[in-house]
């Protein structure tokens, strides 16, 4: 509730709103503050097309005639177009918003003496009011400030907030010093402390059916009054009963018969009230998710501060130990090196702390807006709610957009990417400096060049295209062809290697990593390769009865994918589709795997299939030319490749359903199954190269992968096509 307090304060006086009115720009201001910032304009400069002050359509003053405050100003603003208004510095309200000082001419002394005490001075003709928040201006009509609608919803929220801050309620039955009340009985209309409740209001007998509520809730229900019937500002005797869709304002029947709303589309006030409440609630759900992510992000940033501190201390100790081991010339250089480390240390801390401060402010504003909106939703005044619902919905969407992509990403790592080179000779000590080196990135397997031939396997790889880290060599590893441990089969600088002497009719897992002086980098993705049967000619390769075990790959998945169950179960924290692939690629043989649907909410359409290693991961699988997929909802499915949809088939999925994928390289086809039944015809034909199992899903879906499965009984692998196999 404390965060909401900023939403309840006037931008001019900085106090809680008193008699707030709604300006045409949807901002609020106290009625008394509005009188204080009125400006009188010469009649010759009054816009001829000015609207009534209560209308949602309003004109801005000519910017050539009025200099408004902007962020580019030096802190001063003036109404330079008016002869009667000298240049005057801007004032700054307690809320931090700059406002223009009042420029209403002072009445003559004798007129001031005749003015009743406590009343406001009359509003001059051609008065202009400028919003202190967005600086939009409007010429008032003959009704003056009475033409602006009162914000009854905001007034009610302020009243409830101030009541919640009041002193605690006391028990009404304590004889001497009353204790603090803990409950209120709605039927008895009495506040009780715990001892008095047990003594005077036992939870049995005829009092057992009475409803006991917290004291704060009881105070609100005791003071609650029937909903006020709002009247039209144009026709004070008419009740507001309709809503003008074009003008976005409540209207009465007389407005429709006589006013400008006659030709406009109108709807029932109650229906629009419920519609806008639903829209605001839906927008708040999304914003609430963003606020939760922001809180988790702040925890991450605070942990980074601790890690930077620890890494900084550890790095300094290592540096001191190295410098102390060198000769006297190294000691003269030691201070300079420590200075560089401290600068890097302080820079990282400053960046992370600045981001923490910035994110904390945004989260406080977001939380305040959320609490204010929740209080607004509690209002039971349709017309009052609809007066502010549209701008509130826009604010919620705009605030949610501020937590967009990149906002919740750390701007600094906690690691110190510095390595001290202590190998130079003594005469080079005075040139000693840090060498910024990292271990190499994981190599990328060039699947189009990887193949098997008889009992030999050829693998090719390369460094990531944007990597600038020096590489001294590569290490290629294969398992024993039977699921055993990996072993090194090549160490060197080449990026292609052929391994001979493998077992026939065996499935080998292979991977490669790079190294340099700083250490060994991460492994590439695992490539599964099938050697041919004994006696088959080169490039005539087939897999018979081999099964592959694999999991989902966190290193290549979209950052929104969430992993569990040893990387066999995945879901997503985004409403958009995100792609995750397996950690093994297939290029030969017949392979079958299944995915079970663990959770399926709101009828989304996840996609299942195969993909190349460079598939786009922030759209549905099959949207680009790197994936071949079936997307399915609760009623039907489609096949999709390169955003082309084909073969709509009835039959969908639900929680507990199983989706199977059968990839046959001998026929070069892909078949899909749902609950052990083939879904539609053969999905894709002419498949060549290496493919990764892949899935796309959003936060409404959770799936689990099952591998190492035999080929379904209904399917018979086809004959090898000697002209269609490539190596």
Q: Under CATH, what is the fold of the domain 1-41+123-167?
A: Herpes Virus-1 (3.30.40)
- What pLDDT is stored for residue 77 in this prediction? 35
Q: Which CATH architecture has domain 444-531?
A: Sandwich (2.60)
What is the spatial distance between Cα 161 and Cα 286, in angstroms, rounded to a whole number? 25
pTM attached to this predicted model: 0.33
Measured distance CA(493)–CA(515) in Å, rounded: 10
Helix or strand or coil: residue 258?
Answer: helix
Kindly report the length of the chain.
727
Nearest to 320 by CA among 417, 420, 416: 420
State whether the Cα torsion 551-679-640-628 is positive or negative: positive
Alpha-carbon torsion (680, 684, 690, 696), positive or negative: negative
- Residue 417 has a CB neighbour count (10 Å cut-off) of 11
- Which 3-state string (H, E, C) describes 294-310? HHHHHHHHHHHHHHHHH
Closest by CA to 51, choosing from 128, 124, 122, is: 128
Strand partners, 674: 659, 677
- Buried/exposed code over 172-199 (b: 16+ C-beta within 10 A; e: otherwise): ebeeeeebebbbbbeeeebbbbeebbee
Q: 682: exposed, middle or buried (C-beta count within 10 Å: 0-12, 13-18, 19+)?
A: middle
Tokens of 541: 């390769």
DSSP H or E segment with residue 716:
none
Give the Cα separation of 92 and 69 in Å (integer).
Answer: 12
What Cα–Cα distance (Å) separates residue 143 from each residue in 38, 146, 626? 14, 6, 66
Closest of 403, 418, 247, 241 to residue 345, by C-alpha:
418
Q: Do 671 and 647 form a contact (C-beta atoms < 8 A)?
A: no
Among all chains, which residue has been given the structure tokens 């359409």? 605
What are 106-133's pLDDT values in tens digits?
555 444 444 544 455 566 666 788 888 8
**How would you classify the pairing of strands 526-530 and 584-586?**
parallel
- Both tokens assigned to 442: 């994981």
Q: Residue 497 pairs with which residues in a beta bridge?
A: 459
The pLDDT score that the predictor gives to residue 134 is 86
Q: Work out the burial of residue 578: count CB atoms within 10 Å of its CB; fewer than 13 is exposed, 13-18 middle, 19 or more buried.
A: buried
Identify the CA nearest to 553 among candidates 693, 726, 674.
693
pLDDT score for 380: 87
Residue 67 structure tokens = 């200099």
Could you identify the residue written with the tokens 């507990």? 656
Determine the Cα–Cα distance for residues 338 and 329; give it in Å rounded to an integer. 15
- So where are the chain's domains? 1-41+123-167, 169-222, 226-264, 278-403, 444-531, 561-706
- Choose the CATH number for 561-706 among 2.60.40.10, 2.60.120.920, 3.40.50.1820, 3.30.1330.10: 2.60.120.920
- pLDDT lower than 70: segments of the chain: 1-2, 40-126, 164-168, 218-229, 326-331, 422-437, 504, 533-548, 718-727
Residues 198-212 have pLDDT tens digits of 888 888 888 888 888
CB 628 within 8 A of CB 717: no
CA nearest to 277, candidates 401, 372, 151, 386: 386
Per-residue CA distances from 384 to 218, 239, 369, 387 (Å): 24, 13, 18, 5
Q: So what CATH class is 169-222?
A: few secondary structures
CB 23 within 8 A of CB 132: no
Say whether 499 sits in a helix, a strand or coil: strand
CA distance linking residue 416 with residue 437, whole number of Å: 10
Taking the CA of residue 324 as centre, how many other CA atoms within 13 Å lie in the half-sphere pointing to its CB?
A: 6
Q: How far apart are the first and last CA of the chain?
A: 67
491-528: buried (b, 16+ CB within 10 Å) or exposed (e) per residue?
A: eeeebebebeebeebbbbbbbbbbbbebeebebbbbbb
Looking at the domain that runs over 226-264, which CATH code has it been given? 3.30.160.60
The pLDDT, as a whole number, for residue 229 is: 63
CB atoms within 10 A of CB 358: 12
CA distances from 551 to 14, 169, 564, 585, 615 (A): 58, 60, 11, 11, 18
Q: Torsion-angle region of residue 545: left (phi > 0), alpha (psi -120 to 50) or beta?
A: left
Residue 510: the pLDDT is: 93
CB 400 within 8 A of CB 287: yes
122 strand-pairing partners: none
Cα–Cα distance, 169 to 216 (Å, whole number): 8
Q: E-strand spans in 493-554?
A: 496-499, 507-516, 519-520, 526-530
């Amino acid at each position: 509730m404390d965060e909401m307090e900023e939403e309840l304060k006037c931008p001019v006086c900085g106090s809680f709103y008193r008699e707030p009115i709604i300006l045409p720009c949807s901002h609020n201001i106290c009625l008394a503050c509005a009188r204080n910032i009125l400006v009188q304009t010469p009649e010759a400069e009054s816009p001829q097309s000015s609207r009534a002050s209560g209308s949602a359509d309003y004109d801005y003053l000519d910017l050539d005639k009025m200099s408004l405050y902007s962020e580019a100003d030096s802190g001063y603003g003036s109404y330079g177009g008016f002869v009667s208004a000298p240049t005057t510095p801007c004032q700054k309200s307690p809320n931090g918003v700059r406002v223009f000082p009042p420029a209403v001419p002072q009445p003559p002394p004798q007129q001031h003496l005749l003015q009743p005490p406590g009343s406001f001075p009359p509003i001059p003709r051609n008065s202009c009011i400028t919003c202190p928040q967005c600086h939009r201006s409007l010429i008032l009509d003959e009704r003056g400030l009475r033409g602006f609608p009162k914000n009854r919803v905001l007034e009610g929220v302020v009243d409830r907030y101030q009541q919640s801050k009041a002193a605690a309620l006391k028990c009404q039955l304590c004889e001497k010093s009353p204790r603090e009340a803990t409950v209120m009985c709605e039927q008895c209309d009495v506040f009780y402390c715990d001892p008095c409740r047990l003594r005077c209001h036992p939870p049995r007998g005829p009092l057992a059916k009475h409803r006991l509520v917290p004291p704060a809730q009881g105070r609100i229900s005791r003071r609650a009054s029937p909903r006020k019937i709002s009247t039209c500002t144009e026709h004070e005797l008419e009740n507001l009963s309709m809503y003008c869709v074009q003008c976005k304002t409540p209207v009465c029947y007389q407005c429709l018969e006589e006013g400008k709303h006659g030709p406009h589309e109108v709807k029932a006030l109650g229906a629009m009230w419920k519609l806008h409440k639903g829209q605001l609630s839906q927008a708040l759900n999304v914003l609430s998710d963003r606020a939760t992510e922001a809180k988790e992000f702040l925890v991450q940033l605070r942990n980074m501060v601790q890690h930077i501190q620890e890494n900084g201390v550890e790095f300094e100790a290592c540096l001191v130990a190295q410098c102390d081991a060198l000769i006297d010339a190294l000691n003269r250089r030691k201070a300079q090196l420590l200075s560089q480390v401290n600068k890097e240390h302080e820079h990282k801390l400053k960046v992370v702390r600045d981001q923490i401060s910035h994110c904390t402010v945004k989260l406080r504003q977001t939380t305040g807006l959320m609490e204010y909106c929740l209080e607004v939703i509690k209002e039971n005044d349709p017309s009052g709610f609809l007066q502010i619902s549209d701008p509130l919905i826009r604010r919620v969407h705009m605030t949610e957009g501020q937590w967009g992509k990149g906002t919740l990403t750390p701007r600094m790592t906690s690691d110190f990417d510095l390595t001290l080179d202590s190998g130079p000779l003594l005469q080079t000590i005075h040139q000693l400096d840090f060498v910024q080196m990292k271990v190499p990135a994981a190599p990328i397997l060039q699947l189009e060049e990887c193949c098997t031939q008889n009992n030999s396997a050829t693998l090719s790889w390369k460094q990531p295209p944007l990597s600038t880290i020096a590489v001294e060599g590569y290490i290629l590893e294969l398992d024993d062809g039977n699921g055993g441990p990996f072993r090194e089969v090549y160490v060197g600088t080449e990026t292609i290697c052929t391994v001979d002497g493998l077992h026939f009719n065996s499935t080998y897992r292979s991977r490669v990593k790079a190294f340099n002086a700083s250490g060994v980098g991460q492994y590439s993705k695992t490539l599964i390769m099938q050697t041919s049967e004994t006696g088959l000619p080169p490039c005539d390769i087939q897999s018979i009865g081999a099964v592959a075990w694999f999991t989902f790959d966190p290193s290549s998945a979209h950052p929104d994918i969430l992993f569990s169950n040893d990387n066999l179960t995945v879901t997503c924290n985004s409403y958009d589709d995100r792609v995750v692939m397996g950690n093994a690629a297939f290029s030969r043989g017949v392979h079958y795997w299944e995915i079970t649907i663990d959770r399926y909410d709101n009828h989304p359409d996840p996609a299942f299939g195969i993909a190349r290693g460079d598939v786009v991961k922030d759209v549905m699988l099959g949207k680009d030319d790197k994936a071949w997929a079936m997307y399915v909802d609760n009623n039907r499915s489609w096949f999709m490749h390169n955003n082309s949809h084909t073969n709509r088939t009835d039959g969908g999925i639900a929680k507990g359903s199983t989706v199977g994928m059968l990839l046959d390289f001998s026929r070069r086809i892909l078949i899909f199954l749902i609950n052990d039944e083939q879904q539609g015809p053969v999905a894709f034909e002419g498949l060549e190269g290496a493919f990764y199992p892949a899935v796309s899903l959003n936060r409404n879906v959770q799936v689990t992968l099952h591998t190492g499965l035999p080929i379904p009984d209904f399917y018979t692998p086809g004959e090898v096509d000697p002209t269609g196999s490539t190596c």
